Structure 1
Amino acid sequence: MHWTERHVDPGAYRKVVGRFATGVAIVTTRLGGTDHAMTVNSFTSVSLEPLLVLFCAEKVARFHDAVLEAGVWGVSVLPASMEEASRFFAHRGRPLNGQLARWPHHRGESGVALFDAAIATLECTTTDVHEGGDHSIVVGAVTSMGMPSEEAPLMYHEGRYRRL
């Protein structure tokens, strides 16, 4: 039987993969002078040689086309104190203008926004984009990084925010 012929209930699938605890990050990009941002828990290191990371972007999200066109993006790994920001940037359809104003941030070398309270930041240049069903897998070369805060990380497990 080919794998696509099996029936797996999407609701059950979400529960099963939700057992994998993840960190939470906000990925940002800047296109035409406008900031775009999206909460992700699909961020991971890929390679040490060269330095590569990836995140997954849902194809219907406006962030998807913006980040692919811009070709540069930032990752701010969130501390537990930034749960509100995580929730805000996970919400669809929010206004783009002024969306970053509530959270202190700075511009990286590529011009993308990086959150000051992040426990880790990276700037990346897109190297590859792969099909992943209803998402695109965006791979990027790391061009800069930092560790601005020593707070405990924000975690996501079984559909809820958690703290260590």
Structure 2
Amino acid sequence: MVACVHVEQPVDRDAYRRAVGRFATGIAVVTTRLGGIDHVMTVNSFASVSLDPLLALFCAEKVARFHDAVLAAGVWGVSVLPDTAEDVSRFFAHRGRPLAGQLDGRPHHHGGLGVPLLDDALATLECRTTAVHDAGDHSIVVGAVVAVATPAEGSPLLYHEGRYRRLG
């Protein structure tokens, strides 16, 4: 019998990105409100965590201004984007955009927790932060789901191998 010895080698970051990019994800906009200002960020790192209790999570890059705002606010909303909202996703993914008026011209309302929710979203959730976990250059933000809605019908906007995709 020959013994196999496994020696771990550092993983190349680009190879890692290519590999995880093959996992198709939905696109959502996560929102919060702090000091009367709406904060918005596009994410593809949103997930359902638990049905008992109802928990969801998203990941926020620590250097993003949204990170500090959502942690301070303690509440957040999720709007799952339809496949017609690529422009919305791109806009809220762009760093350094002005905070003032960023939701102007985009139909939205403020939910019971005061967070903005997009009117044409396939689904919306409102969450109250229950835990924040350190995860390298990101934080994993876990929240208790306190409200849900399914305001629109349609197909989801997807992201796969570095590109926006649609079903079918």
What band does the TM-score fall into relative to the shorter chain? over 0.9
Partner of 1:74: 77
Q: Is 1:104 the counterpart of 2:107 in the alignment?
A: yes
Aligned equivalents of 2:120 and 2:39: distance in 1? 18
Partner of 1:138: 141
Q: How many residue pairs get matched?
A: 162
Query: Offset at 1:6?
Result: 3.4
Which stretches of structure 1, 4 residues or more, deviate above 2 A after TM superposition? none
Q: TM-score, normalised by structure 2?
A: 0.94
Percentage of matched positions with identical amino acids? 72
User: What pairs with 1:51-130 in structure 2 (closer than 5 Å)?
Assistant: 51-130=54-133
RMSD after superposition: 1.3
Aligned equivalents of 1:127 and 1:113: distance in 2? 20
SS at 2:85's partner residue? helix
Aligned equivalents of 1:46 and 1:110: distance in 2? 20
| Structure 1: gaps of 5 or more residues | none
Partner of 2:13: 10
Query: Offset at 1:102?
Result: 2.4
SS at 2:103's partner residue? coil
Larger radius of gyration: 2
User: What pairs with 1:9-48 in structure 2 (closer than 5 Å)?
Assistant: 9-48=12-51
Compare the two structures and name the one with the higher helix fraction.
1
| Structure 2: gaps of 5 or more residues | none
Q: TM-score, normalised by structure 1?
A: 0.96
Give 1:7's aligned amino acid: P
